[in-house]
Amino acid sequence: MSIASNLGFPRIGPDRELKRALEEYWAGRSSAAELASAAADIRRANWHRQAGLGIEHIPSNDFSLYDHVLDTAVMLGAVPQRFAQRTTLDDVQRYFAMARGLSDGRTTVPAMEMTKWFDTNYHYIVPELDAAQELHPASTKPIDEFEEAKALGITTRPVLLGPLSFLRLAKNHRTAQPTLAFLDAVLPVYEQLLARLHAAGAAWVQLDEPCLVLDLTSEQRRAYQSAYERLGTAGPRVLVATYFGDLGKNLATALSLPVAALHLDLVRGPGQLAPALHRIPDSMSLSLGVIDGRNVWRADLDAALARLAQAARALGGERVLVAPSCSLLHVPVDLASEPALDDELHGWLAFATQKLEEVATLTTALRDGPSTVRAQFDEARRARERRRTSPRTHDHAVRERERAITEDMLQRAPYGERRELQAEALALPLLPTTTIGSFPQTAELRRVRAAFRAGHVTRNEYDTFLRSRIQQAIRFQEDAGLDVLVHGEFERNDMVEYFGEQLTGFAFTQHGWVQSYGSRCVKPPIISGDVSRPHPMTVAWATFAQSLTSKPVKGMLTGPVTMLQWSFVRDDLPREEVCRQLALAIRDETVDLEAAGIRVIQIDEPALREGLPLRAQGWRNYLRWAVNAFRLASSGVADRTQMHTHMCYSAFDDIADMLAYLDADVLSIESARSGMELLETFARVDYQNAVGPGVYDVHSPAVPSAQAIEALLGRALEVLTPEQLWVNPDCGLKTRRWEEVQPAIRAMVTAARTVRAQHEHGTVARAAAAPTRVG
Ligand code: GLN
Ligand code: ZN
């Protein structure tokens, strides 16, 4: 008998109950007991919901108060010294201190680092390992939650992050020794926990090993083998769960692990089923991830069933588990919370709850024959057919434009020529100063926007208010002496949503929240159809700002790759093609901005790097289409129009080679925090275009001094020529307060002027001391 199973359920609650409970607790308005009870309510509701949907292997310990990787570190006793020594903290306080840092007036203890969970928009806390830590079973969370569900009459399958993935995601706090060295220390802890779970009544445990889909060395492969030789016999039957990709070269390793079952992601890696069936040992079952846990579309049940049936024929139905491709953490909880979505789109979607219905339907079909669930299959088929033939998914004009894209639409004149034309058109000084786009989103601004959205403030009143803020921002920038101004992005709540709302092909949910980190949730737009831009989106604000000043005002746009990355993207077209449609829409906007007199335009691509495939073999292809999309978006303007782009991450050595091919006139990037380390990248690739390495860390409330900024500029000039260097903050200023922004920007302008003066008067001296290139 096949088994309907799940790998993990969203933990934030259908109405973001966890977010509220956490924020109340952090603000000191509720007790730890109240937080614990709110968390228990969410878990109970999740278990009952899954049981009600007919799921037989229901996960436990998939819940977390902040992050499951942090939970794993705590479970193993891997608590960094700076938190462990705080003996006045109780366990809950220490846990949140690790996640969020501590500051009690006199001292501050920095939080542990946070980074992206594979290629998702979820962020995990990076464990810090240290040989001084004595690893031991330091928390009973997995056992407690198993018992908690058991008391409700539900026998769950506890989920743990597996030891090898845990180690690979962790960092060695003190030495450069690979974290794999800690394997012998963590394995006994896992063994004890598995034995205790078994004693508590757990027949199965799920050990998540998503790192099995990454590139592995042979040493790493051997470590999987030896680790699971121990864990496979520790008590419960072990399911090793892999997801987010094809196992590729690691398939043989995974199939040779002495465990009861292996989970394969057949959405990202459909091709691995056949070889897996061919090589699987008799003792192993397969959990098949046939329902997409990363996206919101209703499944093709026929195709899913065909795969399951293929496996059942080869193995016998009792060795097949039916599952989503990965944990459902990455999709919203329930489509039933979206009554306002139009009927057509509603019929095409499936959130976590609906996905588990699909799992249950498929399991029944596999077990008892498709005729027993004919109605569900018919309905799914009709929905797909409606989607396939809807005018929404197929706009002839958009497809025609795509077909008409030519190579020369991606070309501008060589940078050297553009540079001359732009110098003439803009007459900027050496080391021009600018900002990245947004100015503070104040409480007042948010209040007025909410009132406008709720209908308490008219469009007219709202626009008048926004114009007054733009006026203030322009006045400030002129007064501070910035060279290229911005309007401040006051009308934007979110850099993707703002554009998505004005493009065709986008839809927005009311409650479609997914966890980004801790209590922070995002509501990604859904790209459901062909994308086009019916009207100009930013021209009115940009030209209004430009009318207030004789300095150039920079038009601000979000790039195609970033819009793609931060949305749920339709699965009936290649991502590459959706990206091209977005690029055409942005290109239209640049052309209109230029025609309206805007001479500088920035296309933000903060998400360009995070779209890199998990495996190096996919990088080239991704970079090719991502960069081409940017070029398509940015090459529709005249050569005298200056095109900027902005990216905010400091580690981008791995995409350095493609920066030159992006060919933006000016590239601004985050770097204040890393002390300009990334400049070496520019030296290495001999980057010629202009660069604005951020000199003001916008993630900190601290106001930098002019001297500190001068020092950063000095370092930049060791690698870049003065003609190449721009002066700007790391990123947008929307999260900062005006009281911080004003002195910081003034310091930035002062520093730029000082350094500028040295170089303007020192042409001869400079020729003598040509910039030394590092690397
Ligand atoms: N222009 C955007 C801003 O200033 C850029 C945001 C980003 O890079 N994430 O807010
Ligand atoms: Zn940024």
Q: How far is the CA of 647 from the centre of ligand 2 (A)?
A: 5
Q: Is the CB of 646 under 6 A from ligand 1?
A: yes
Q: How far is the CA of 566 from the centre of ligand 1 (A)?
A: 14
Q: How far is the CA of 438 from the centre of ligand 1 (A)?
A: 6
Neighbours of 690 (CB within 10 A): 22
Of the bound ligands, which one is closest to the alpha carbon of residue 731? 2
Burial of 382 from C-beta contacts in 10 A (0-12 / 13-18 / 19+): exposed
Rounded Cα distance between 68 and 479, Å, is: 49
Q: In sequence order, what are the residues at sequence separation of 6 or more whose Cβ sits closer than 8 angstroms to the Cβ of residue 663?
A: 412, 415, 631, 689
Confidence band of 760 (pLDDT split at 50, 70, 90): confident
* Residue 251: closest CA among 267, 262, 239: 262
Mean pLDDT confidence for 553-576: 98
How many CA atoms lie less than 13 Å away from 364 in the CB half-sphere? Answer: 18
Name the percent of the chain lying above pLDDT 70. Answer: 98
* Contact (Cβ atoms closer than 8 angstroms) between residue 83 and residue 108: no
Rounded Cα distance between 344 and 351, Å, is: 16
Rounded Cα distance between 754 and 487, Å, is: 26
Neighbours of 642 (CB within 10 A): 25
Q: How far is the CA of 47 from the centre of ligand 2 (A)?
A: 39
* Ligand 1, pocket-test mutation among 121, 434, 435, 438, most atoms within 8 A of CB: 438
Average pLDDT, rounded, for the chain? 95
Q: Is the CB of 648 under 6 A from ligand 1?
A: yes
Residue 765: is its pLDDT beyond 70? no
400 vs 700, more confident: 400
CA 94 centroid distance within chain: 26
Do the bridges between strand 114-116 and strand 123-125 make them parallel or antiparallel, or are there none, so unpaired?
antiparallel
For atom 10 of ligand 1, which residue has the closest CA? 732
CA 111 centroid distance within chain: 20
* Residue 54: closest CA among 485, 372, 393: 372
What are 96's two structure tokens?
């949140």
Q: How far is the CA of 762 from the centre of ligand 2 (A)?
A: 33
Residue 762: is its pLDDT beyond 60? no
Residue 773: is its pLDDT beyond 70? no
Mean pLDDT confidence for 166-177: 90
DSSP H helical ranges for 27-67 = 32-52
Least confident of 48-62, 416-430, 758-772: 758-772
Confidence band of 522 (pLDDT split at 50, 70, 90): very high
Report the pLDDT value the prediction gives residue 775, as an integer from 0 to 100.
35
Of the bound ligands, which one is closest to the alpha carbon of residue 730? 2
Which atom in ligand 1 lies closest to the alpha carbon of residue 734? 10
- Taking the C-alpha atoms of 714, 715, 721 and 724 in order, what is their torsion angle to the nearest 10 degrees? -100
What are 476's two structure tokens?
């400030």
* Contact (Cβ atoms closer than 8 angstroms) between residue 204 and residue 227: no
Write down the pTM of the prediction.
Answer: 0.94
Which atom in ligand 1 lies closest to the alpha carbon of residue 606? 8
Least confident of 354-363, 652-661, 703-712: 652-661
> Both ends of the chain: CA-CA distance in Å?
62
Q: Is the CB of 604 under 6 A from ligand 1?
A: yes
For atom 6 of ligand 1, which residue has the closest CA? 732
Mean pLDDT confidence for 283-301: 98
Task: Give one DSSP letter per residue of 545-570, joined into a string.
Answer: HHHT-SSPBEEEEE-HHHHHHTSEEP
* Ligand 1, pocket-test mutation among 435, 436, 586, most atoms within 8 A of CB: 436
Which atom in ligand 1 lies closest to the alpha carbon of residue 648? 8
Q: How far is the CA of 74 from the centre of ligand 2 (A)?
A: 32
Q: What is the pLDDT of residues 130-165, one digit of tens each?
A: 999 999 999 999 999 999 999 999 999 999 999 999
Burial of 747 from C-beta contacts in 10 A (0-12 / 13-18 / 19+): buried
Residue 771: is its pLDDT beyond 60? no
Residue 700: is its pLDDT beyond 90? no
Which atom in ligand 1 lies closest to the alpha carbon of residue 558? 1
* Ligand 1, pocket-test mutation among 434, 435, 489, most atoms within 8 A of CB: 489
Which atom in ligand 1 lies closest to the alpha carbon of residue 731? 8
Residue 648: is its pLDDT beyond 90? no
For atom 4 of ligand 1, which residue has the closest CA? 732
Task: Give one DSSP letter per residue of 179-243, joined into a string.
Answer: GGGGHHHHHHHHHHHHHHHHHHT-SEEEEE-GGGGS---HHHHHHHHHHHHHHTTSSSEEEEE--
Q: Is the CB of 732 under 6 A from ligand 1?
A: yes
Q: How far is the CA of 119 from the centre of ligand 1 (A)?
A: 21
Q: How far is the CA of 649 from the centre of ligand 2 (A)?
A: 8
Mean pLDDT confidence for 679-707: 92
Which atom in ligand 1 lies closest to the alpha carbon of residue 436? 4
Angle at 334 between CA 333 and CA 337, to 5 degrees: 120
Mean pLDDT confidence for 707-713: 96
Residue 772: is its pLDDT beyond 70? no
Q: How far is the CA of 639 from the centre of ligand 2 (A)?
A: 25
For atom 1 of ligand 1, which residue has the closest CA? 437
Of the bound ligands, which one is closest to the alpha carbon of residue 734? 1
In single-letter form, the type of residue at position 182 comes to F
Burial of 265 from C-beta contacts in 10 A (0-12 / 13-18 / 19+): buried
Q: Is the CB of 436 under 6 A from ligand 1?
A: yes
Mean pLDDT confidence for 525-537: 98
Mean pLDDT confidence for 586-599: 98
Report the pLDDT value the prediction gives residue 177, as an integer from 0 to 100.
86
Of the bound ligands, which one is closest to the alpha carbon of residue 559? 1
Q: How far is the CA of 512 from the centre of ligand 2 (A)?
A: 25
Of the bound ligands, which one is closest to the alpha carbon of residue 607? 1
Q: Is the CB of 495 under 6 A from ligand 1?
A: yes
Which atom in ligand 1 lies closest to the alpha carbon of residue 602? 1
* Ligand 1, pocket-test mutation among 495, 565, 648, 698, most atoms within 8 A of CB: 495
| Residues tagged active-site | 699
Q: Is the CB of 734 under 6 A from ligand 1?
A: yes
Q: Is the CB of 606 under 6 A from ligand 1?
A: yes
Neighbours of 556 (CB within 10 A): 28
Q: How far is the CA of 773 from the centre of ligand 2 (A)?
A: 26
Which atom in ligand 1 lies closest to the alpha carbon of residue 492? 10
Of the bound ligands, which one is closest to the alpha carbon of residue 436? 1
* Residue 445: closest CA among 426, 422, 416, 469: 469
For atom 3 of ligand 1, which residue has the closest CA? 732
Residue 175: is its pLDDT beyond 90? no
For atom 9 of ligand 1, which residue has the closest CA? 606
